Amino acid sequence: MNILRQITISHYFNVTIFEFVGLNCKERYFMAGNELQVTMEPRAAEVAAEMLKALGHPLRLRIVSVLAAGPMHVTGLAETLEAPQPFVSQQLRRLKTAGLVAARTREGHAYYEIIEPHLFEMLRCLGRCLNSRRERGLL
């Protein structure tokens, strides 16, 4: 295995990219922190793109940011977000289809909650990206 290059993404992360060349194959891996990972396979990239598409609407991003605080029913979400309830329901269906949220019935209401545990990390990362853009005057 040869080291192709080592780059610094930020002062927190160093990424080392390795390449293994065998008789009939070439594989690339990257080292993020202490973990060696293979580069994203085509199917994984498709699934990741679908997740990002599901989050790719301003209201859906706002919905998951509210749900990060805990489960909430559609009416409460609509009031909190100051958006029409049918539109919030439509966006929740899209998030549910993508496997990011689920509805659980309590007290006669469907309460929506985030079921993808790593979505919280993604929201924190997105928040850091927005803060960085704000600091650079891009927001």
Domain that holds residue 10: 2-39
Mean pLDDT estimate for the chain? 81
Judge if 54 and 111 occupy the same domain. yes
Asked whether residue 99 is domain-assigned, the answer is yes
Q: What is the Cα–Cα distance from 129 to 112, expressed in whole angstroms?
A: 26
Q: What is the Cα–Cα distance from 54 to 50, expressed in whole angstroms?
A: 6
Judge if 53 and 113 occupy the same domain. yes
Judge if 101 and 60 occupy the same domain. yes
Sheet with 35-38, side-by-side order of all strands: 2-8, 14-21, 26-32, 35-38
Asked whether residue 89 is domain-assigned, the answer is yes
Judge if 77 and 10 occupy the same domain. no
Asked whether residue 139 is domain-assigned, the answer is no
Residue 53: its pLDDT value, please? Answer: 95
Residue 2: its pLDDT value, please? Answer: 46
Q: 80: how many CB neighbours lie within 10 A of its CB?
A: 14
Judge if 34 and 51 occupy the same domain. no
Residue 5: its pLDDT value, please? Answer: 46
pLDDT at residue 1 tops 70: no
Judge if 35 and 102 occupy the same domain. no
Residue 82: its pLDDT value, please? Answer: 96
Judge if 54 and 114 occupy the same domain. yes
C-alpha distances in angstroms, 116 versus 8, 27, 81, 95, 111?
29, 29, 22, 11, 16
Tell me the per-residue pLDDT of 62-88, one tens digit each, with 9 for 90 and over.
999 999 999 999 999 999 999 999 999
Tell me the per-residue pLDDT of 7-46, one tens digit each, with 9 for 90 and over.
444 444 444 455 555 555 555 555 555 555 555 677 878 8
Q: How many domains does the chain have?
A: 2
Judge if 61 and 22 occupy the same domain. no
CA torsion through residues 6, 8, 14, 19, sign = negative
Asked whether residue 129 is domain-assigned, the answer is no
Judge if 54 and 33 occupy the same domain. no
C-alpha distances in angstroms, 51 versus 7, 95, 108?
27, 9, 29
Residue 70: its pLDDT value, please? Answer: 94
Judge if 35 and 50 occupy the same domain. no
Judge if 98 and 116 occupy the same domain. yes
Q: What is the CATH number of the domain that holds 68?
A: 1.10.10.10
Bridge partners, residue 6, by sequence? 16
Judge if 75 and 103 occupy the same domain. yes
Asked whether residue 137 is domain-assigned, the answer is no
* Planar angle of CA 90, 95, 101, nearest 5 degrees: 120
